[in-house]
């Protein structure tokens, strides 16, 4: 998601300036990474555990996306709501969300799309790649990465690939898991102007779906 510079509405009643609230969300954000992983596990595995079919899951997540998007648009138009967002979710928000749709909205949208377009194992694997590989890459890259690569670092991208490949091996043979992990890594690190919570699952699911539909050799 492109970075946008928020316009600070100034200090609220008894509170710090908006810019200060946003600045507090910078850094490693460990709780954001934990929630990111839990969300991925939930969106990938809960439908099967609850006995929901892919269509019902996609519809449910689609409704959730609409709700989150409306909340985002209101938050971005009403400064007091944006302040409240960064006050309540100070351990989960990201600075780029001060002037843009929240990553959680893109997360739920991507889950809805992969459940609708690549139901079953491809959807589960694609969401798990986002849920597990992305936060692992962020933690390693921010902590130890030194050489930049696209939006991240070489070490972070390598971590993403290893975790993604391990996740995908549970859903596909290695000749399929390998290119899917590579494509997911490219989607994660390439600055294309879209939130990677959207691009990673779609790219991963597309590769898995393509191999699934190829005729046997």
Tell me the pLDDT tens digit for each residue of 70-92: 999 999 999 999 999 999 999 99
Domain residue spans of the chain: 18-213
pLDDT at 88: 95
Residue 4 has pLDDT above 50, yes or no: no
Closest C-alpha among 70, 187, 176, 195 to residue 125:
176
Beta strands in 104-196 (DSSP E): 148-149, 152-153
pTM for this entry: 0.89
Q: Which two structure tokens, joined as six digits, stand for 33?
A: 């990474």
- Mean pLDDT confidence for 83-104: 95
Q: Which two structure tokens, joined as six digits, stand for 187?
A: 């989607």
Query: What one-character DSSP code corresponds to residue 120?
Result: T
165-169 LR contacts (CB < 8 Å, sep 24+): 167/125, 167/128, 167/129, 167/132, 167/133, 168/125, 168/129, 168/204, 168/208
- Please give the distance of CA 106 from its chain centroid, rounded to a whole number: 7
CA distance 156 to 158: 5
- For the chain, how many residues are written? 217
Residue 177 has pLDDT above 70, yes or no: yes
CA distance 166 to 169: 5
CA distance 204 to 209: 9
Q: Could you read off the pLDDT of 105-155 as tens digits, one per residue?
A: 999 999 999 999 999 999 999 999 999 999 999 999 999 999 999 999 999
Distances (CA, A) of 6 to 73, 81, 98, 107, 140: 14, 14, 6, 22, 28
Q: Could you read off the pLDDT of 145-176 as tens digits, one per residue?
A: 999 999 999 999 999 999 999 999 999 999 99
pLDDT at 32: 96
Residues 152, 153, 156, 161, CA torsion sign: positive
């Amino acid at each position: 998601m492109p970075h946008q510079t928020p316009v600070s509405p100034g200090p609220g009643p008894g509170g710090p300036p908006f810019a200060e609230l946003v600045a507090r969300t910078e850094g490693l954000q460990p709780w954001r990474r934990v929630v990111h992983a839990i969300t991925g596990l939930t969106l990938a595995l809960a439908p099967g555990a609850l006995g929901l079919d892919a269509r019902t899951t996609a519809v449910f997540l689609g409704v959730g996306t609409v709700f989150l998007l409306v909340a985002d648009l209101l938050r971005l138009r009403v400064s007091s709501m944006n302040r409240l967002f960064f006050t309540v979710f100070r351990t989960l928000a990201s600075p780029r969300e001060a002037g843009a749709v929240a990553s959680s909205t893109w997360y739920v949208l991507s889950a809805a799309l992969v459940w609708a377009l690549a139901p079953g194992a491809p959807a589960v694997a694609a969401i798990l790649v986002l849920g597990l590989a992305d936060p692992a890459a962020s933690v390693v890259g921010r902590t130890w990465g030194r050489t930049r690569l696209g939006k991240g670092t070489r070490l972070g991208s390598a971590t993403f690939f290893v975790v993604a490949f391990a996740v995908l091996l549970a859903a596909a043979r290695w000749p399929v898991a390998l290119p899917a992990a590579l494509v997911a890594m490219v989607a994660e690190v390439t600055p294309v102007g879209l939130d990677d919570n959207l691009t990673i699952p779609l790219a991963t699911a597309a590769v898995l779906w393509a191999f699934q539909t190829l005729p046997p050799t």
